[in-house]
Amino acid sequence: MPPFANKLRSNIITTDQLGEVRYVAGVDAGYEDNGETTRAAVAVLSFPDLKLQEQAIAHRPTTFPYVPGFLSFREVPAVLAALEQLTIAPDLLLCDGQGLAHPRRFGIACHLGLLVDLPAIGVAKSRLIGTHPELGEEKGAWVPLMQKEETIGAVLRTRSRTNPLYISIGHRISLETAIDYVMRCTPKYRLPETTRIADKLASNRS
């Protein structure tokens, strides 16, 4: 990890430091031109009714090489550019990717949350590291995601009888509160509305 990243990581706050949450934003990134261009998308929804209020897309040259575990360093410049386009300031970020549930405890939700100083949650579709006990099939069931003796996140069933999501702290939020907000942003599908919309935008899908 680059030396400055260790300093950033030491500033991650794992307790609740949220004000009133009126707008939640989903953040995702994809690639174009065989990876030469990073395409980032942000979707801002009102909370708690989850109505789309604003969306932004930004393209930036991909300048950081592909290194497993360092994807946030490739994606963050384009994501920041997308965030800068917004006229509505989000109160909470839900990032398509990891937070603390990351080999270096520094996934994109940590990286982005620190840079913009906003509460952030990692909402990942797959597990990078960690183990967990068996998870119940019902919606809302969750179990801790563990790495040795450390709780690094949660395995959360957002929809009955579908694959779970992997939730972790990004910045300025506790794990329990992160789970609560993810569930409140997930009324129908497996993914929260925030990241579901951002994923479509970042992947250039209608």
Give the single-character DSSP code of 20: -
Q: Give the HSE-up count for residue 92: Cα atoms under 13 Å, Cβ half-sphere.
A: 33
Other residues' Cβ atoms within 10 Å of the Cβ of residue 151:
16
Q: Which of 3-17, 83-97, 153-167, 191-205 has the lowest mean pLDDT?
A: 3-17
Q: Is 159 helix (H, G, I), strand (E, B) or coil?
A: coil
Banded pLDDT at 177 (limits 50, 70, 90): very high
Cis preceding linkage at 48, omega within 30: yes
| Spatial CA neighbour of 112 closest among 200, 29, 205 | 29
Cα gap 87→162, rounded to integer Å: 35
Asked whether residue 206 carries a pLDDT value surpassing 50, the answer given is: no
Average pLDDT of the residues of the chain: 90
Cα gap 201→42, rounded to integer Å: 8
Cα gap 206→71, rounded to integer Å: 25
Task: Tell me the per-residue pLDDT of 3-58, one tens digit each, with 9 for 90 and over.
Answer: 556 667 789 999 999 999 999 999 998 877 776 888 999 999 999 999 999 999 99
Question: Which residues on neighbouring strands pair with residue 150, listed in sequence order?
Answer: 147
For residue 18, give every residue at least 6 positions away whose Cβ sits within 8 Å of its Cβ, in sequence order, or none: 91, 92, 119, 172, 173, 177
List of domains in the chain: 3-13+20-128+169-183+190-202 (3.30.2170.10)
Other residues' Cβ atoms within 10 Å of the Cβ of residue 112:
25
Query: Under a CB-based contact definition with an 8 Å cutoff, are residues 186 and 174 in contact?
Result: no
Asked whether residue 110 carries a pLDDT value surpassing 50, the answer given is: yes
Other residues' Cβ atoms within 10 Å of the Cβ of residue 95:
31
- Polymer length in residues for the chain: 206
Tell me the one-letter amino acid at 14.
T
User: For position 165, what pLDDT does the model report?
Assistant: 98
